[in-house]
Each structure stands twice: as C-alpha cells, then as structure tokens.
Amino acid sequence: AIEIIESGIFEPGIMMNLNSFSDKVDKDDINTNIGNLIFGAETSGGLAIVLPEAKVNRFLEKYKKIAAVIGRITEENPGRVRIKK
C-alpha cells in the first residue's frame, strides 16, 4: 500500500476523508503517506472493533492470529483521534 501511495495513486476515498476529517486527527510526526492511508476506506471502517478494555484479552485469545490492539479510547480530547508511532 505504501508503494502505491508513494507513486501518487490515491484511492478516491482518501482525499474525501482527508478533506472531511483531517481537522479532527492529530498525526504527531508519522510518515505522511502512512498518515494518508489511515483515511482510506479500507482502514477507516469495518476493520476496527471497539471493545470495553475488560473484554480485550478474551477477544485476543480467541482471535490472536488476526487481531491486535491498535488504540485506546480516553477522556482526553473528546472528538479527536491521535495517531502515534
């Protein structure tokens, strides 16, 4: 995916989502191309499952080969997403 986006090929949803939501996302100092991929239709919906923290370990035990924790919901900065390295 990185090679494709580096060559200048963007899935149309990336630009639409960037224009619609980038003001709500803090990307720290991550690579611009990786940051742009986050807004693609393939990564912004359907692939993320939100669970109460108390149920994460049970879920990971069942789906350990296909699931990983990628973030945490906090009370800080409501309505914003922060992407860290």
pLDDT tens sequence across 48-75: 788 898 999 999 898 877 788 888 888 8
Q: What count of other Cβ atoms lies within 10 Å of the Cβ of residue 36?
A: 19
Instruction: Give the per-residue pLDDT at 15.
Output: 86
Contacts 24+ apart (CB under 8 A), 63-69: none
Residue type, 43: T
The token pair that represents 2 in the structure block: 């990185």
| Summary mean pLDDT of the chain | 83
Q: Which residue has the higher pLDDT, 28 or 54?
A: 54
Please enumerate in sequence order all residues whose Cβ is within 8 A of that of 78, keeping only pairs 6 or more positions apart, or say none.
none
Indicate the pTM of the whole model.
0.61
Give CA–CA dist 28/53, Å, rounded: 24
Higher pLDDT, 32 or 41: 32
